[in-house]
């Protein structure tokens, strides 16, 4: 297996998906990095979930979200000039069905009559805190994503909706974990 240390980034640049090199602090790389952090944050939640049916269902939902994040990062890691190429590729894409999965989960949580009053104060327990860390990371990713059009990189509305829904879902899951 070839080494992971290619040394091509030693000059402060990195490659976008189809080979274009950009600075490591390029807005698209910043967005991809924020969603990479979110992927890790979601992964840190999974071992904290209970070993029951509810925990298994949440683990499945978080794993699906992580797979969606990989697809989102791939799309964001394509130059604007390669957006059509990415859209036509066999790479996974975030879809309306992924949004519907979050909407269903949000509706189920809201249907449980969660109680919260004003701003949350994270840290009631480890699981609630982990959900809040993931939520805050999702919101950072959302801000990076929202800045891309001003930098010349279009963003599909589905991606914005996906991140917003995921953030909302994580907030509700944190409140549920507190209770």
pTM of the model: 0.91
Nearest to 64 by CA among 42, 87, 44: 42
DSSP letter for each residue of 136-157: HHHHHHHHHHHHTGGGT----H
Walk along the chain (179 residues) and give the pLDDT tens digit of each residue: 888 777 767 778 778 778 788 868 889 999 999 999 999 999 999 999 999 999 999 999 999 999 999 999 999 999 999 999 999 999 999 999 999 999 999 999 999 887 777 677 888 899 999 999 999 999 999 999 999 999 999 999 999 999 999 999 999 999 999 98
Q: Which domains does the chain have, with CATH numbers?
A: 23-178 (1.20.1200.10)
CA angle 98, 64, 35 (to 5 degrees): 90
């Amino acid at each position: 297996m070839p080494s992971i240390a290619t040394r091509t980034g030693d000059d402060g640049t990195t490659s976008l998906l189809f080979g274009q090199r950009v600075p490591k602090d390029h807005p698209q790389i910043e967005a991809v990095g924020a969603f990479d952090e979110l992927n890790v944050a979601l992964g840190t939640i999974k071992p904290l979930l209970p070993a029951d049916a509810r925990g298994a269902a949440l683990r499945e939902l978080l794993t699906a979200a992580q797979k969606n994040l990989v697809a989102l990062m791939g799309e964001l890691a394509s130059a604007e000039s390669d957006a059509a190429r990415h859209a036509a590729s066999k790479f996974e894409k975030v879809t309306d069905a992924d949004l519907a999965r979050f909407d269903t989960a949000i509706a189920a949580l809201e249907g449980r009559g969660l109680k919260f009053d004003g701003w949350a104060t994270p840290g009631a327990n480890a699981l609630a805190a982990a959900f809040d860390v993931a939520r805050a990371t999702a919101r950072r990713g959302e801000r990076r994503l929202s800045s891309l059009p001003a930098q010349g990189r279009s963003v599909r509305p589905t991606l914005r909706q996906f991140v917003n829904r995921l953030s909302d879902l994580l907030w509700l899951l944190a409140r549920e974990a507190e209770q």
